[in-house]
Amino acid sequence: MNCPALLESSKASMTYIDVIGFAAAFLTTTAFIPQVVKCWRTCHTRDISAPFTIATAAGLALWLTYGIFLGSLPLILSNSVSLALVLCLLALKLRYG
The model's pLDDT over 25-57, given as tens digits with 9 standing for 90+, comes to 899 999 999 999 999 999 999 999 999 999 999
Query: In this structure, which long-range contacts are made by residues 36-45, counting pairs with CB atoms below 8 Å and at least 24 apart in sequence?
Result: 36/85, 36/88, 36/89, 36/92, 39/89, 39/92, 39/93, 39/96, 40/88, 40/92, 43/92, 43/96, 44/96, 45/89, 45/92, 45/93, 45/95, 45/96, 45/97
Q: Can you give the pLDDT at residue 7? A: 44
CATH code at position 92: 1.20.1280.290
Q: How many domains does the chain have?
A: 1
Whole-number Å distance between alpha carbons of 25 and 77: 8
pTM: 0.78
Q: Can you give the pLDDT at residue 20? A: 87
Q: Can you give the pLDDT at residue 6? A: 42
Domain of 51 in residue numbering reads as 4-96
